[in-house]
Amino acid sequence: MASANRNAIKPVQTIAKLIGNLIFIFLLVLLCALVFLLVQSRISGGPPTVSGYRLFAVLSGSMSPEFETGSLVVVKPVDPAALHVGDIITFGNADGQLVTHRIIGIENDGDLSFITKGDANEVADSEPVPAHRVVGMMVLAIPWLGRILVFSQTKKGILLMIAIPSLLILVLEARSLWRFAAEEDKKRAAQAEQGESTQAEKAEQSLFSD
């Protein structure tokens, strides 16, 4: 009966160990990614960049329903001459702010420029966007990640998203080491018990032979 119970518990322990390992790997990858993006942003003084692609957090709903406030947009560098009507671009406006809107028209009377508009806006942007202000073309929008990116750059964000995951990783690693040490102690205890049993059998056999 006890043996059957042990056999039933083993699969559960295996699954729990697998889940724990997956959580550990996820936290480790998340921590490395956040640290990389945070350090890179602090050093460059600009948005995080991965393999030339820039990451921007969406701060308004002007492009709803294409993407919502709090999304993360991935923008790749592009030759402005290769852009077409319908492309979504990130550009700097006259106030120096970054905007991500859709191209609804192209003007090429001497100097290349773009007429842009937010999908949720009723009218086009107030002035054309000169080609030299184009940062790049949006290739991907991921919901919610923009909020996480912005939050991770605050003091509270650094604490909650870097310090706490680091602590959890240390706790999980310490737990694994403790389990390993406990298993080693059990093995040594079993070997010692087996050794004592063997010595007792030898002593008993010696008495009978005498």
Catalytic residues: 60
83 touches 106 (CB < 8 A): yes
* Alpha-carbon span 123 to 130, nearest angstrom: 19
Q: Which tokens sit at 24?
A: 């550990």
59 touches 72 (CB < 8 A): no
* Alpha-carbon span 8 to 25, nearest angstrom: 27
* Alpha-carbon span 43 to 193, nearest angstrom: 60
C-alpha triplet 30, 32, 34: angle, nearest 5°: 65
* Alpha-carbon span 52 to 38, nearest angstrom: 16
Backbone angles phi, psi at 104, to 5 degrees: -115, -5
